[in-house]
Amino acid sequence: MRGRLTHETIHLLERFNKAAKRQVHSLQEFFVLGGKSIGFAFSRPFYGGDLVQQMEAIGVQSLSIVLLTGFFTGMVLALQASVQLKTFGATMLIGRFVSASMIRELGPLLAGLMVAGRVGSGIAAQLGSMRVTEQIDALNTLGTDPIRKLVTPRVLATLIMLPTLTVINDFAGILGGSVIAWAYVKIPVALYWRTVWEQIAAGGFIFRYIPNDFVHGLVKPFVFGGIIAVVACNFGLKTSGGTEGVGVATTRTVVTSSILILMTDYFITQLLLAFLGS
């Protein structure tokens, strides 16, 4: 009996050891791919045309979903804030509540999740289809590095466009809040936007000119963009099993990116609060 338990324990430990090694190896591949994709941006050949094409696909084509998400999120924030602040007779502070929530937290987070769902899945599907149809093997045969040709433009485009989309998302949210504040709470538009600026100024400045809120709101999407692009490319390049494998890679990309964004958001917030204050 004791020998059987010992054998089963050893078997479980071996399985755990193999699973841990696979996870560590996957994490290593993730960072290696990210490092190579960034490194290739500073050497030749550089595929500028592909970069512009990916910026259009990632940024411009995501504009509508980001605008809608931000606008209605701002409306909901203003509506909820009006109910809570009315208890204290402070409904005039709705602008401060909406701007702080959108710029510091909800703007970057929602933009990241929307892009992860739309762009991340698209990148994984594209590269996965190229992998199963042996197009990536053909690039290797022709002497073209697939990471330089396919991954670097997508990573750079996401790093550039996600902060841009976040700014648009922030503005759309604050604008949506102003609509509710004016139409539902009867707050003058000028008063609303003045309180928005007061909130931005109250957060403090770095180097006297850059509001801390903007730093909070732009560091996050830059990190989120890197996570989305590298995760999508990583799963896309490792696709196997035909069309079914493409679907699996797409699903894994969206789920993994979303979880990493939510986890990373907490740690970035902690670091920014520690270095920049409230």
Residue 231 has pLDDT above 80, yes or no: yes
In a domain, 91, yes or no: yes
221 is in which domain, residue-wise? 51-276
The per-residue pLDDT for range 158-171, each reduced to its tens digit, is 999 999 999 999 99
- To which residue do tokens 């409904």 refer? 91
Residues 6+ apart with CB under 8 A from 59: 157, 160, 161, 164, 165
Angle between the 212-237 and 2-39 helix axes, to the nearest 10 degrees?
110
In a domain, 229, yes or no: yes
Range with the poorest average pLDDT among 67-71, 118-122, 192-196, 202-206? 202-206
Residue 3 has pLDDT above 60, yes or no: no
Q: How many domains does the chain have?
A: 1
Residue 35 has pLDDT above 80, yes or no: yes
| Mean of all residue pLDDT scores within the chain | 86
pLDDT recorded at residue 84: 85
pTM as predicted: 0.86
Q: How confident is the model at residue 141 (pLDDT cuts 50, 70, 90)?
A: confident
State CA 13 to chain mean position distance.
36
Q: Is the peptide bond before 45 cis (omega within 30 degrees of 0)?
A: yes
196 and 174 Cβ atoms separated by less than 8 Å: yes
Residue 5 has pLDDT above 70, yes or no: no
In a domain, 21, yes or no: no
